[in-house]
Amino acid sequence: MAPPCPVIILDDCRVAPTPSSTAQMSLPLTFFDVFWLKLHPNQRLFFYEASHQRSTFAETVLPKLKHSLAVTLQRYLPLAGNLIWSPDSDKPIIQYIEGDTVSLTIAESEADFYHLLSNSFREAKEYHPFLPSLLASNTRVPVLALQVTLFPNTGFSIGYATHHAVLDGKTTAMFMQSWASISRFDGDLNPTLELSPFYDRTIIHDPADLERAYLKGWLEHNGPSNKSLVFWDSKAPPDMMIGTFRLTRGNIENIKNWVQTQWQKKHQQKPAIPVSSFAITSAYIWVCLVKARQLRSKKVHLAFNIDCRARLDIPSTYFGNCITFRVLEADSDELIGENGVAIAVKAISDAIGGLNDGLLKGAEELISRLLSVQEEKILSIAGSPRFEFYNTDFGWGRSRKVELISVEKSGAISLLDSREGIGGIEIGVALKKHEIEAFASLFASGLEAHQVLETFNHS
C-alpha cells in the first residue's frame, strides 16, 4: 500500500462573502442541532479528473472557484461564521459578523490520483493530507473549512470539513450544489435550481423540551457544566482501511425478491409495509458487518437517520439539522443465521413504518444512548443517495469519486448515489484490514447467493 503523500501548501487564503446588505447574522440552535454539538466534523472529498497544468490551475480553476465561493457564501452567510458559546450564555449560537471568512487551503500533491479514487482497499490516512480541519476552542469553532488540491496533469480534489451542529447532509449537499452551479454558470445560479436556504428557526417546535435534555446531556458529559466546544474525542484506529462497494439496482431487486419470498413462506402473505431500497441496502450491510466484525454480543444495534423536513412540513431548503434517529436492536445469532437479511429488513421496515406513530418518539433518550452504548456494538448509516453528490459539477464534469472520510472516526457506513446512476447505491466502509477483507468476501458471496436463489425461485 502506498504511504501517505504529504502535500505542498501553496496558499492559506480566506474567502469572504461578496458584499451584501447583511452585516451580521445569528441563528439559535434547535434541538436537532444540539444533538450534534460535540461530535466530530464531517469530512468529505470530491475528486475531479482534469489535465490541468500548474499554470492553468492557478490562472483558470482557482479564480473561478474562489469567485463562485464568495458569491455562494452571500446566500450562506452562517457558513462564513462561527459557532459561539460564551461562558455567560446558556446555549451556543451560530454567528456571522461582517469580516468573517472561510478558510480555503490551496495545495499540490504528487500522490497517485487514480489510486485514491479506486475501489480497492486504501488506508484512511492516505486521505488526511487533502482534508481541511476545524480548529475548535472552548468558546468558538468555525462552521466550514475547505481545501483544493491539484494533482498536476491528472485532476484535483475539493475537500470540506463542516460542523455537524450547524448543518446536516441535506444542507451540505444544497451548499455544494449551489457553489458548483454558480461556478459552472460563471457567477450566476442555475435558474433551474431552487437552493436559497430557509433560515426561519421558529418553524421548529419543541414541545418535549428536547433542547434542554440534549444540552443537559452534553453539559454533564466529562462535566460538570462542560460548556467547551472542543470536539468529543473519537480517534480512529491507526490501521483503518477504506473500501467502496456497490449495489446495482439488479442486486437490490434480487435481495428484495428473496426477502419477500422468505416473508411469504413464514407468514403466508406479502409484507404489510413496502420494502424500500434503503431497507434492503441497510439490512444487507448490517448483516455483513456483524459477520465481518464477529460481533457475538447477543444484542447488536443499528442506527439510521430520518430527514424530518417533509414529515414536519418544513421547507426542503431549511438550513440546519432536521434529522432524527431510530436505533434498532437485534440478536446477533439471528442476524448471522440463514434468514438474517430478511430479519434485518423487517426490523428496519417496521421502524420506518412506525414513524407514523410519532416521528420524535423516544428522541429524549438519544443523547443518553449515544453516550452509553458501546461503540463496538452499534453500527450506523450515514449519508443518503438522495443527496446526489456525484452531480456536483463545477464546470469540469461530474465527480469521478466522492468519499466521506470521517466515517473512519464515526464507524458509520456511508450511502451515496452511484456515479453510474440508474438506481444503484455506493457504500463506503471503514474497517480494520482483516475486517474489511472479511466484509468484502461476505458482501460478494452474499450477492452471488441471492442471485442464484432468485434465479432458482423464478425457474
Q: How far apart are CA 77 and CA 25, in angstroms?
A: 7
Spatial CB neighbours of 82, under 8 Å, sequence gap ≥ 6: 94, 95, 96, 100, 140, 141, 142, 143
Q: Which residue has the cell 421502524?
A: 351
CB atoms within 10 A of CB 114: 14
For residue 182, give the 3-state DSSP assignment. Answer: helix
Distance of CA 434 to the CA centre of its chain: 24
Residue 6 has a CB neighbour count (10 Å cut-off) of 12
Return the closest-CA partner of residue 34 out of 206, 236, 223: 206
Contact by Cβ (8 Å): 288, 443: yes
**How far is residue 416's CA from residue 439's CA, in Å, rounded to a whole number?**
18
User: Which uninterrupted H or E stretch holds 249?
Assistant: helix 249-267
Alpha-carbon distance of 347 to 275, in angstroms, equals 11
To the query of whether residue 164 is one of the catalytic residues in this protein, the response is yes
Per the CB < 8 A criterion, the answer to whether 17 and 68 are in contact is no
The C-alpha cell that represents 160 in the structure block: 470540506
Angle between helices 277-292 and 340-353 (to 10 degrees): 130
C-alpha cell at 305: 437517520
The active-site residue out of 163, 164, 301, 450 is 164
Preceding amide of 224 cis, omega within 30? yes
Catalytic entry in 206, 331, 350, 393: 393
Instruction: Report in angstroms the alpha-carbon separations of 152 from 3, 110, 119.
Output: 19, 7, 22
Cα distances from 249 to residues 31, 252, 254, 261, 350, in angstroms, run 36, 5, 9, 18, 23
Are 369 and 327 within 8 A, CB to CB? yes
Residue bearing cell 471568512: 101
First CA to last CA distance, the chain? 45
Buried b (16+ CB within 10 A) or exposed e, 194-214: ebebebebeebeeeeebbebb
Q: How many residues are given for the chain?
A: 459
Which sequence positions are flagged as catalytic? 164, 393
